[in-house]
Amino acid sequence: MAITAGSLYTPTERIDQPLVVVENGVIAEVASRATREISAGLNVVDLGDVSLAPGFIDTHIHGAAGHDVMEQDRDALASVAQLLAQHGVTSYLPTTITAPVEKTLTALERLADAIEADESKPGNYGLRAQPVGIHLEGPFLSHARRGVHPPACLLPPTLATFEKFWQAARGHIKVITIAPELEGACEVIAEATQRGVCVSLGHSDADLKATQAGVAAGARRATHTFNAMRPLEHREPGILGEVLTDDRLSAEIIVDGVHVDPMIVRLFLHAKGDDGAVLVTDGTAATGMPDGKYRLGGLEVEVKDGKCLADGRLAGSVLTMDRAVRNVMKFGNWDLQRTVRLATLNPARTIGMAGTIGKLAPGAAADMVALSATGQVRKTIIRGRIA
């Protein structure tokens, strides 16, 4: 098949009047209709005057559509993935929350099953985003900056515990969040990095020295920057000083207007720029649902007026990735092409998958989102299938 539109963002380049040829769910060719005639026999789908971009990638999400990714219900993940697709997400990392070890191990096994089953296939839930790995958030977190993660379930980082998680996930852990100041953290960071895991520094009270030690051990990302972190001080820059100035670190940010003030979003964008900023939602089961009470792992959270709270603390969000893109355009005064990179190529690079997702180029998965000029989702395309 061939897909045409008004424009296309690869995302680093813009092509007007694009022609995308898809074969067996993979992009075979990306060209402009100004220089390439449409071959006879191609099934042409014209999406009209929209901008095609790579499908969004959410590398930090706990749930949606009333379901949590750690639920035992086998249909839960399918419901989450269907709602994600409606908001332009084509790939995601289901993200765990700190829980008793046995519960975490069971959840990791279940998530590995879903990844290996290829959740992009259409079924009773229609087209849905594909889980491409797991983000392990906890239990190697700081008590001082734990947020709503249950304190009784936090653990010191050890190679033995990490190995248990790795084996349960069957090697599908793509990101692990860890507080670098904890005893044993650097050993786990080094081992996880050696196995190809993106180690993300977060839920941390680390000073600058401890943070730099974590980076030296292999950490290359920060988890929901500013949230659950030691604040930036002018005489003790701490973890935020390193995150904002070290070009080796990419950095997540939740741009919902709740977790981070719009002015701080602008500061963050100036600091991390086009290459280092990564949009995440930190979405919970309440995403896409009315106000009420929902589950986040073993916690009960309440949503009211766009805020997701547990015991008065922020507990994830109800943000969707398309809204995050629009908020960056609004808060940072960025154009659409520049912004979509933060939800596509940048997260793909952090998890080592930029060769197959996060860009529109020959050999990449035919995962695309059709957007209006203001960032509204018009169509989502997953492996060449149009939702």
Q: Is position 322 annotated as part of the catalytic site?
A: no
Q: Nearest 10 degrees: CA dihedral of 313, 316, 318, 320?
A: 150
Task: Give me 109's structure tokens.
Answer: 């096994």
Among the listed residues 58, 205, 256, 282, the single catalytic one is: 282
- 359 DSSP assignment: S
Q: List the end-to-end C-alpha distance of the chain, in Å, as a whole number.
A: 15
Question: What b/e string do you get for 58-67 counting C-beta neighbours within 10 Å, with b at 16 or more?
Answer: bbbbbbbbbb
- Residue 234: Cβ within 10 Å count: 6
The Cα–Cα gap between 331 and 255 comes to 9
Query: Rounded distance, CA 181 to CA 211, Å?
Result: 7
DSSP assignment of 45-113, as one string?
Answer: EE--S-EEEEPEEEEEE-EETTEETT-S-TTHHHHHHHHHHHTTEEEEEEEE----HHHHHHHHHHHHH
Place of tokens 């020295």: 209
**Residues with catalytic roles:** 282
